[in-house]
Chains A and B, each alone.
Chain A
């Protein structure tokens, strides 16, 4: 962290807000400018930012954050069912509820560090998943998932009209672009808090724990409460993301808590750059883009893409590339992930830093770079 950077934090926030709010414009040319995907970018962005506060700052690799995502969703849907379709109480309760669960899971898991911590969180998440799937069916509606029905109480809303109501914020429906802009504003606020934590002495201490926990203890810090705080905050971020999933699409299913979802956020953070401010967001962008856009490319689209080539070459290139798109988008992602982890252990952000450095060095002097 460079101290001169902090003075420009306001500028940073303004640029960040502008970039996020204009996403529909600049993502449209690459085919990602539709509300459904934009909402996902914002929601998973929040999830990854929060995850990065734990993993990026303290180095504690949680493999169970999807559990908080699920808990947030269930709580939000219950708020829609029992209280009101207004999204604010839903988000509020989701954050509180995940905070409580994170306190419980963190209290137990943080007794261990390293791989044992990861395994404990993974065990908790899988337990939550299986509970949601089977034992807790009255609360979670098991396999079908928790949905809105016409019989729901919704005690704060007036008498129900015909058909299922939709989520709203003081009359504005939370679907389509309005849903995206709502998520985008929440993302900006979430990013602001994360920036504050990164810049604060608290954030510095979390990084010090990652760097040398023994020294921290002998320097007079009780490290457990610091880790607890980071764990709870990142759990609450995940709960917020889960609530927003329910806001944009009011249903909650157990599959949201499965370990693959926990693994996804780990991939996103590592791909973008662990412990950097923007890295996790880049990771989210790339993974969600691949998931939604690459998976939609089929052989026909490839043929038309390569149609300017002579026939046999066209067929050859299509044959080579087709396993990497459509159903095979995971393959592309996997290759990309391996390339990044091997050549840029600091993720895409490290790549950007290197390019910046090279550019700067050319301006002043040609010193060999080291990192």
Chain B
């Protein structure tokens, strides 16, 4: 059996009277792409927020690489190797594309705090080369890498954010609806990018509404409904699971 990267055990979370998460157990194996699907309000984002330090579960444990991460701060969890792509693009709109990718590369290399004012950022050739290469892979080349990130389209911003996370070579990448609100051709470009990452063997959790995306990239799928996991399995198992079809798809066949 392969290594567990993330282990979520008995996690409960209530907001007022609402049980957002109900005894959720989830094991993420190394090298797998694990998709979490479910209708709106099922608790997908809440679950992700419990992993990344935004929320603290009422009960239960979340361990990452065998280490407890509940109560840890966002930057500590990132430094441990769990990196998150947000649902709305979180980039640095006032910086250039290149700088946007250099910043996470610095975090990976220098840790959560590093004060050095005597070396110019433009002399950090290794970091610049790596960042440029990743941007080139995204199809951004030449002088364009010096343009402002804030002026890009929404789809480009989201892919930029994904690249910003990838340059950190995370142990576990969390993707919160990477294609939400995208046009079809935009979605396809993102799927290409995701499949490229899949080949690299990076462990990922992906939350997604778009079934096309889920079935093209996921190894394992868990279905969340009303705060509880109602099914887990391979895409084919999930596709044929009547409980899932009832809860999530309203009986329609995929």
Interface residues of A, Cβ cutoff 8 Å to B? 1-3, 6-7, 9, 193, 196-197, 199-205, 207-208, 210-212, 214-223, 225-226, 229
Contact = CB atoms under 8 A, between A and B. Distances in A.
A207 B95 contact: yes
B69 interface: no
Contact of B116 (A201, A210, A219, A226): A201
Interface in B75-115: 75, 78-79, 83-84, 86, 90-96, 99, 102-104, 106-108, 110-115
Nearest to A209: B92
A229 B107 contact: no
Contacts of A207: 92, 94-95, 99
B118 interface: yes
Contacts of B52: 218
A229 B117 CA distance: 11
B102 A218 contact: no
B113 A226 contact: yes
Interface stretch (B35-43, B119-127, B217-225, B242-250): B119-127
Contact of B112 (A199, A203, A222, A229): A222
A315 to B, nearest CB: 51
B121 A199 contact: yes
B120 A218 contact: no
B119 A201 contact: yes
Contact of B120 (A6, A193, A211, A221): A6
B239 interface: no
Contacts of B107: 219-221
B99 A204 contact: yes
Given A2-B146, A221-B113, A222-B75, A215 B90 contact: yes
A218 B84 contact: yes
A210 B92 CA distance: 9
Contact of A202 (B78, B90, B111, B117): B117
B119 to A, nearest CB: 6
Contacts of B104: 219-220
B164 interface: yes
Nearest to B79: A220
A211 B95 CA distance: 8
B75 A212 contact: no
B231 interface: no
> Interface SS of chain A: helix, strand, loop or mixed?
helix
B74 interface: yes
Contact of A208 (B74, B92, B110): B92
Contacts of A215: 90-92
B90 A204 contact: no
Given A205-B103, A211-B94, 18 more contacts: A1-B121, A3-B146, A6-B120, A9-B120, A196-B120, A200-B121, A201-B116, A201-B119, A203-B121, A204-B121, A205-B106, A212-B90, A214-B90, A215-B91, A217-B73, A217-B78, A220-B168, A225-B113
A219 B99 contact: no
B86 to A, nearest CB: 8
Given A208-B95, A218-B78, A220-B168, A199 B120 contact: yes
Contacts of B115: 202, 229
A225 B75 CA distance: 12
Given A1-B96, A208-B95, A201 B124 contact: yes
A193 B94 CA distance: 23
B135 to A, nearest CB: 14
B103 A218 contact: no
Specify which of B84, B86, B92, B124 lies most central, judged by the most chain A CB atoms within 10 Å of its CB: B92
A201 B102 CA distance: 9
16 contacts: A9-B120, A199-B120, A199-B121, A201-B114, A202-B116, A204-B95, A204-B99, A207-B95, A208-B99, A215-B90, A218-B52, A219-B107, A219-B164, A220-B104, A222-B75, A226-B113
Contacts of A221: 75, 107, 112-113
A1 B103 CA distance: 14
B119 A222 contact: no
A217 B75 CA distance: 5
Contacts of A3: 122, 146
Contacts of A2: 146
A7 B120 CA distance: 10
Nearest to A207: B95
B117 A220 contact: no
B108 A220 contact: yes
A169 B74 CA distance: 51
Nearest to A222: B112
A76 B121 CA distance: 36
A218 B83 CA distance: 7
A212 B91 contact: yes
B72 to A, nearest CB: 12
Contacts of A200: 116-121
A139 to B, nearest CB: 32
Contacts of B116: 200-202
Contacts of A1: 96, 99, 121
Contacts of A220: 75, 78-79, 83, 104, 107-108, 111-112, 168
